[in-house]
């Protein structure tokens, strides 16, 4: 694997996966705007490439979008395909736990255990290359820390590998938690209540002790991946890193804290959190949901020492409206942890998919080998009780030959196999802290759609959709818009493909508006073949199904926003369902929480990057790089009045 981050950079460049940018680009908003254009574009010569900004106005270059494609994610993990790691894990566990019938098998098992032990992290004496330079006075502002979006609360470290220790057991946790800079030696540290580091913090608070924290930046790329991975509690992330790199992680002792960090890291920031100290107001922050996560109070991190290697490179990432670099990290996690889920929790799962529009926790699709009545519900309950899957909002379960990575096939399976009145299940439970649609903070509704066939399940209707060609025309669309002035757009492209899903954009103007509209629509003859209506707000682009799915999944609480309506479908009695993915307000929905705005670059930044674009990418592959328009040009028209918080 890689000796350090510079080795990874060199290999990316050799593979044609990295572009060096020598022109000055400001870490204040401009770098994020450049990366947003690159990460969402596949047609240009520079589309989705890793970028090394060599002129940041500081002594340190900035590496970003290093994980922003399947190829580079595979390079980081040292594999040809993302599924290779899962296959290796499955094969290893199956061999270890299978009966050993011969001496040769027993010797192979001993050899494999020895191999696993060689991947365990090792603490070594002396200093590492991460400590070649010691700042006389620690000053985190010396690094090119980015402000990514116009209404962010400040500058944020976005790829910090954060080390904490459980004080009673001494067990290490390595996680990834954003950090907002408040001064030369002070940041906030944003760990959610469900995270392991937050549990460590609570234990230090009980003991009345300061909590040592160490932050590593750079080094082998598997460190950042391991820190982001949802490993079981009390599992050392550096064991996963050692397994991925087939070489143990060497750790060195910090200079001012009783902590150990990777010797090959580019930058190490040492410090502590005092549990008895008042929290600091952190945020807002343009988050991976595509919306701002709003300001809240988090612990202060006091910096006691900063060290770095000579010629260190500062690693960063932006998140925002998908797709961004973090989606590829999530895709690798999905493929790798599918093996662990199958082996330890739900062995009947044969595949899993987390669509980018679902921003990880909002939407998950699984395929199972269905064998008995209630099998889907068994899987549903197991998934919602499995680690970070407890935060899942919408779970779709399929079986048979459905390719769950083909979303049209999944939609067709839902259309053909689901009677909304009997095949959709609801629950309530913990939700992601970033879920702004919950009526209660971090607690809300969950929905499971059982799109499996009736095979092996006598309780499930054999078919509720034998009709493949639905009658819905432009005339029907125009008539509905004429009869209902609040309807601003209708997308019936899936109906034309025989998939019973309709998208409607609505401008709400009264309480219970979507519920009442849904009742009226399902009573009309045009809806005799419609099972699912997904409502989005009028500012959303209803012509873009991907965008509608992203907006809907963010704005929807299944327990509160699902409306059933009787309908005659395919000559059988069946219930239709309306799913309300519009923005919720106090005025029309009795919603008491603040609602965040979507993320968009400001006009000044867009113009600045437009003007310097040709200087950033003068020639690629002996051709001038084509101009890439800002993705924010599409979304700025969808913004509501206000800053990070909507105020209209």
Catalytic annotation, pick one of 26, 36, 264, 287: 287
- The DSSP output letter for 270 is E
Sole residue written with tokens 């609801």: 426
Please say whether the beta carbons of 374 and 459 come within 8 A: yes
Sole residue written with tokens 């971090």: 442
Q: Which two tokens stand for residue 461?
A: 């209707």
CA distance 375 to 394: 18
- What mean pLDDT value characterizes the chain? 92
Burial class (CB in 10 A: 0-12, 13-18, 19+), 644: buried
13-29 confidence digits (pLDDT tens): 999 999 999 999 999 99
Burial class (CB in 10 A: 0-12, 13-18, 19+), 55: middle
- The DSSP output letter for 289 is T
CA distance 394 to 557: 9
Q: 253, 210, 21: which is closest to 121 by C-alpha?
A: 253
In the sheet that 394-398 helps form, which strands lie side by side, from edge to edge? Answer: 349-353, 363-368, 394-398, 443-450, 424-430
Please say whether the beta carbons of 503 and 534 come within 8 A: yes
Question: Could you give phi then psi for residue 95, rounded to 5 degrees?
Answer: -70, -45
CA 412, 322, 238, 264 dihedral sign is positive
CA distance 50 to 73: 11
237-279 confidence digits (pLDDT tens): 999 999 999 999 999 999 999 999 999 999 999 999 999 999 9
* pLDDT interval class at 620 (50, 70, 90): low
Please say whether the beta carbons of 376 and 452 come within 8 A: yes
Question: Could you give phi then psi for residue 349, rounded to 5 degrees?
Answer: -70, 130
Question: Residue 467: its pLDDT value, please?
Answer: 46
146-198 confidence digits (pLDDT tens): 999 999 999 999 999 999 999 999 999 999 999 999 999 999 999 998 899 99
Q: Provide the CA 15 distance to its chain's centre, in angstroms.
A: 27
Query: Which helix or strand (DSSP H or E) is residue 424 part of?
Result: strand 424-430
The least confident of 100-109, 396-405, 617-626 is 617-626
Sole residue written with tokens 């191999």: 115
Average pLDDT (442-462) is 82
Greatest C-alpha distance within the chain: 79
Q: Are strands 50-53 and 62-64 parallel, antiparallel or unpaired?
A: antiparallel
Q: Which two tokens stand for residue 433?
A: 């802290």
* Helix/strand/coil for 146: strand
- R_g of the chain, CA atoms, integer Å: 26
CA 629, 635, 641, 647 dihedral sign is negative
33-80 confidence digits (pLDDT tens): 999 999 999 888 788 999 999 999 999 999 999 999 999 999 999 999
Whether the link from the prior residue into 175 is cis, omega within 30° of 0, is no
CA distance 21 to 64: 11
CA distance 200 to 388: 17
Report the C-alpha dihedral over residues 237, 324, 365, 580, rounded to 10 degrees: 130
586 pLDDT above the threshold of 80: yes
537 pLDDT above the threshold of 60: yes
Sole residue written with tokens 């001012």: 256
466 pLDDT above the threshold of 50: no
Please say whether the beta carbons of 568 and 419 come within 8 A: no
* pLDDT interval class at 626 (50, 70, 90): confident
Question: Residue 472: its pLDDT value, please?
Answer: 84
Q: Which two tokens stand for residue 290?
A: 């595509």
Average pLDDT (490-510) is 95
pTM of this structure: 0.94
Q: Which two tokens stand for residue 648?
A: 């209209």
* pLDDT interval class at 458 (50, 70, 90): low
CA distance 181 to 167: 26
91-146 confidence digits (pLDDT tens): 776 666 678 777 777 677 666 677 778 889 999 999 999 999 999 999 999 999 99
Please say whether the beta carbons of 354 and 230 come within 8 A: no
Q: Which two tokens stand for residue 150?
A: 């116009």
In the sheet that 562-569 helps form, which strands lie side by side, from edge to edge? Answer: 487-491, 501-506, 532-537, 572-581, 562-569
CA distance 368 to 600: 39
CA distance 66 to 324: 11
Active site includes 274? no
Percent of the chain topping pLDDT 90 = 81
Question: Could you give phi then psi for residue 49, rounded to 5 degrees?
Answer: -75, 155
Q: 190, 198, 194: which is closest to 173 by C-alpha?
A: 198
What does each C-alpha distance from 504 to 53, 179, 497, 540, 556 come to in angstroms? Answer: 43, 39, 17, 10, 14
468 pLDDT above the threshold of 80: no
Please say whether the beta carbons of 536 and 582 come within 8 A: yes
CA distance 560 to 548: 19
Average pLDDT (523-539) is 92
Question: Residue 459: its pLDDT value, please?
Answer: 62
Neighbours of 428 (CB within 10 A): 14
């Amino acid at each position: 694997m890689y000796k350090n981050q510079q080795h990874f950079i060199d290999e990316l460049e050799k593979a044609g996966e990295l572009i060096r940018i020598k022109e000055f680009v400001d870490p204040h908003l401009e770098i994020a705007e450049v990366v947003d254009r690159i990460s969402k574009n596949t047609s240009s010569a520079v589309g989705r490439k890793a970028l090394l900004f060599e002129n940041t106005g500081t002594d340190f270059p900035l590496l970003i979008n290093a994980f922003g494609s399947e190829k580079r994610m595979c390079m980081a993990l040292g594999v040809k395909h993302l599924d290779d790691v899962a296959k290796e894990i499955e094969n290893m566990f199956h061999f270890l736990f299978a009966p050993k019938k011969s001496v040769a098998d027993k010797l192979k098992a001993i050899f494999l255990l020895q191999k696993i032990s060689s991947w365990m992290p090792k603490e070594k004496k002396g200093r590492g290359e991460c400590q070649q330079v010691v700042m006389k006075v620690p000053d985190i502002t010396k690094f090119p820390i980015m402000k990514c979006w116009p209404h962010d609360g400040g500058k944020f470290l976005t790829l910090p590998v954060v080390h904490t220790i459980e004080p009673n057991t001494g067990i290490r946790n390595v996680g990834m938690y954003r950090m907002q800079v408040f001064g030369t030696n002070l940041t906030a540290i944003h760990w959610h209540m469900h995270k392991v580091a937050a549990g460590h913090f609570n234990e230090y608070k009980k003991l009345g002790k300061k909590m040592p924290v160490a932050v590593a930046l750079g080094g082998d790329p598997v460190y950042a991946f391991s820190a982001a991975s949802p490993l079981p509690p009390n599992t050392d992330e550096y064991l996963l890193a050692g397994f991925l790199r087939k070489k143990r992680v060497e750790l060195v002792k910090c200079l001012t804290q009783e902590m150990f960090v990777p010797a090959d890291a580019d930058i190490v920031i040492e410090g502590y959190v005092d549990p008895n100290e008042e929290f600091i107001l952190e945020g807002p922050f343009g988050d991976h949901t595509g919306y701002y996560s709003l300001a809240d109070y988090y612990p202060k991190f006091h910096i006691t020492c900063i060290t770095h290697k000579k010629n260190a490179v500062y690693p960063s990432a932006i998140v925002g409206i998908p797709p961004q670099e973090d989606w590829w990290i999530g895709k690798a996690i999905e493929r790798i942890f599918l093996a662990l889920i199958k082996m330890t929790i739900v062995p009947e799962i044969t595949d899993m998919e987390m669509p980018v529009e679902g921003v990880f926790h909002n939407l998950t699709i699984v395929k199972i080998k269905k064998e008995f009545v209630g099998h889907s519900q068994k899987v549903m309950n197991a998934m919602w009780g499995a680690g970070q899957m407890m935060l899942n909002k919408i779970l779709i379960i399929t079986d048979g030959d459905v390719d769950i990575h083909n979303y049209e096939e999944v939609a067709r399976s839902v259309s053909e196999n689901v009677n909304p009145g009997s095949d959709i299940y609801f629950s309530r439970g913990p939700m992601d802290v970033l879920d702004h649609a919950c009526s209660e903070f971090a607690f809300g509704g969950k929905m499971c759609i059982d799109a499996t066939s009736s095979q092996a399940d006598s309780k499930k209707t054999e078919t509720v959709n034998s009709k493949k060609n639905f009658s819905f025309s432009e005339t029907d669309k125009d008539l509905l818009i004429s009869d209902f002035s609040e309807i601003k757009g209708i997308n019936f492209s899936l109906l034309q493909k025989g998939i019973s899903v309709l998208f409607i954009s609505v401008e709400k103007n009264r309480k219970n508006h979507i519920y009442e509209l849904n009742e009226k629509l399902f009573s009309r003859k045009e809806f005799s073949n419609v099972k699912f209506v997904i409502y989005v707000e009028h500012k959303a682009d209803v012509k873009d199904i991907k965008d509608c799915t992203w907006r809907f999944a963010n704005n929807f609480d299944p327990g509160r926003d699902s409306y059933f309506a009787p309908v005659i479908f395919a000559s059988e009695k069946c219930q239709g369902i309306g799913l309300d993915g519009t923005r919720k307000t106090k005025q029309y929905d009795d919603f008491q929480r603040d609602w965040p705005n979507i993320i968009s670059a400001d006009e000044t930044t867009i113009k600045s990057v437009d003007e310097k674009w040709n200087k950033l990418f003068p020639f690629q592959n002996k051709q001038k790089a084509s101009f890439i328009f800002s993705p924010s040009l599409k979304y700025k028209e969808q913004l509501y009045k206000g800053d990070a918080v909507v105020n209209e």
